[in-house]
């Protein structure tokens, strides 16, 4: 396989429009390749770009051309094998398969697949296409970044970069008309008088009118083409815009029943969630909570890489979430979300307690809460209690089951798929 590398300078991303058009045209190929890559990658390799193979037949362009027409009996120059009138048989097996096939053959010919390389940003964009945080409705005029510049007319003062050429030329034209209108009318009247003097042969009048016309022309030319008073600059004002404040609580079970494979799948799910929030919701805060018998708020590194373990009391994480919510994130101002991952193993007496905390303390104040159970076993008491919550709060609570690595991305998309407006 050979590659063509174009090393010409490409200032200001001039080919981005064509690249976007190409990505839109082969969106399905690219999405399938990205979804497949997510399942095969490690947690530390999620943000890398990807090579997307596109079958050569799919990138061919339709071409209109004139056909030869009729029957041809031409023997081309350089031929040493055929004579006029000979019939040439078709090659057996058609034209051969495309590139990428591992089966060797001595017949036919083909063409290698086209390989399109996605950057890391494009990979993230395709990965999280059509996803959003549900029910984000609370907006406030807060934060130093919640501003935008709007055009608010024109000003006589400004920097050269904001000069409005069109408005400046209009102002110049209006000034010319205002200053020279009377003089041009006088000129027209003098020109008529001059013509009459020429017909009558009045030399004295001709010299007098000629001198007046010369003075008028000098006065008209003295009006400059462009003056400082003509300059007009675009005026932009800074206006505040409503900003959606959101916080995501990530609750992960790290008890002894969570073996390493289950923990890796939970980390994959949370890494997808973390990348999704960083890509689309830069101002969203993330609270990481790990729990076994005791829940603890941790930083990002400890959440993903700590090896602490112990027994299982799921309600401890929900109680800590409830405390942090009411201490730091007022439900009146914040869009609050929660995502919980566990293998479902819990003390039987604790599962009803979990449902009670969610029902009475958390769900009334959150925009959405998602529970992911990662296990190959049958569901236990925690799933059954949460199933009742899903029936009571279908818009606020959702739960999904992950059995293997291949389920992670599809479950993630189901939980955060964009919903059609009612």
Per-residue pLDDT of the chain (422 residues; tens, 9 = 90+): 455 555 555 545 556 677 777 777 767 777 777 777 766 666 556 666 666 666 655 555 666 767 666 666 666 676 777 777 777 776 665 444 444 444 454 554 555 566 767 777 777 777 777 778 887 665 544 544 566 788 888 888 888 888 999 999 999 999 888 888 888 888 888 888 888 888 888 888 888 888 888 888 888 888 888 888 889 999 888 776 556 678 999 999 998 888 888 988 998 899 888 888 888 877 788 999 999 889 999 998 889 888 888 888 999 999 999 999 999 998 888 889 999 999 988 887 899 999 999 999 999 999 999 999 999 888 888 999 999 999 999 989 999 999 988 888 889 888 888 765 44
How many distinct structural domains can be found in the chain?
3
**370 & 339 share domain:** yes
**Claim to verify: residue 309 and residue 381 sit in the same structural domain:** yes
Domain boundary among 236, 268, 289: 236
| Distance between CA atoms of residues 107 and 94, nearest Å | 9
129: Cα separation from own chain's centroid:
8
DSSP H or E segment with residue 357: helix 350-357
Looking at the structure, tell me whether residues 369 and 251 fall in a common domain. Answer: yes
Q: Could you tell me the end-to-end alpha-carbon distance of the chain, in angstroms, rounded to an integer? A: 51
Residue 9 within a domain: no
> Do both 271 and 324 map to the same domain?
yes
Q: Please, are residues 214 and 269 in contact by the beta-carbon 8 Å criterion?
A: no
189 and 336 within one domain = no
> What is the reported pTM?
0.59
CATH number of the domain bearing residue 306: 3.40.50.410
Q: What stretches of 129-273 adopt beta strand conformation (E)?
A: 139-140, 147-155, 233-240, 243-244, 246-253
Angle at 175 between CA 173 and CA 180, to 5 degrees: 100
**Residue 173, domain extent:** 160-236
Judgement on whether residues 173 and 264 belong to the same structural domain of the protein: no
């Amino acid at each position: 396989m050979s590659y063509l590398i174009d090393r010409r300078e490409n200032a200001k991303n001039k080919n981005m429009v064509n690249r976007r058009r190409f990505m839109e045209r082969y969106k399905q190929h690219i999405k399938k390749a990205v979804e497949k890559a997510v399942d095969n990658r490690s947690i530390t390799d999620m943000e890398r770009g990807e090579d997307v193979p596109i079958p050569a037949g799919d990138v061919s362009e339709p071409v209109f051309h004139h056909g030869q027409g009729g029957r041809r009996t031409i023997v081309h120059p350089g031929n040493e094998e055929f004579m006029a009138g000979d019939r040439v048989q078709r090659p057996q097996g058609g034209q051969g398969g495309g590139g990428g096939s591992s089966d060797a053959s001595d017949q036919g010919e083909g063409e290698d697949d086209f390989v399109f390389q996605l950057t890391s940003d494009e990979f993230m964009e395709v990965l999280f296409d059509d996803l959003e945080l549900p029910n984000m409705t609370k907006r406030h005029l807060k934060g130093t970044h919640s501003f935008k510049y709007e055009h608010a007319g024109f000003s006589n003062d400004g920097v050269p970069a904001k000069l409005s050429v069109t408005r400046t030329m209009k102002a110049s034209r209006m000034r010319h008309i205002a200053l020279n209108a009377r003089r041009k009318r006088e000129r027209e009247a003098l020109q008529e008088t001059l013509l009459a003097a020429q017909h009558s042969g009045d030399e004295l009048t001709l010299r007098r009118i000629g001198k007046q016309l010369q003075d008028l022309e000098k006065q008209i030319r003295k009006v400059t083409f462009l003056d400082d008073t003509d300059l007009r600059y675009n005026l932009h004002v800074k206006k505040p815009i409503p900003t959606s404040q959101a916080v995501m609580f990530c609750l992960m079970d790290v008890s002894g029943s969570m073996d390493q494979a289950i923990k890796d799948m939970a980390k994959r799910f949370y890494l997808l969630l973390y990348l999704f929030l960083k890509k689309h919701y830069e101002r969203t805060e993330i609270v990481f909570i790990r729990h076994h018998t005791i829940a603890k708020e941790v930083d990002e590194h400890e959440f993903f890489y700590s090896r602490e373990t112990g027994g299982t009391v799921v309600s401890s994480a929900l109680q800590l979430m409830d405390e942090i919510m009411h201490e730091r994130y007022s439900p009146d101002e914040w869009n609050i979300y929660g995502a919980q991952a566990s293998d479902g193993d819990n003390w039987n007496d604790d599962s009803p307690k979990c449902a009670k905390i969610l029902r009475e303390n958390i769900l009334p104040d959150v925009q959405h809460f998602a529970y992911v159970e990662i296990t190959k076993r049958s569901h236990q008491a925690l799933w059954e209690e949460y199933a009742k919550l899903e029936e009571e709060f279908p818009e606020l609570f959702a739960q999904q089951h992950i059995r293997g690595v291949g389920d992670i991305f599809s479950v993630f998309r189901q939980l955060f798929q964009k919903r059609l407006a009612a």
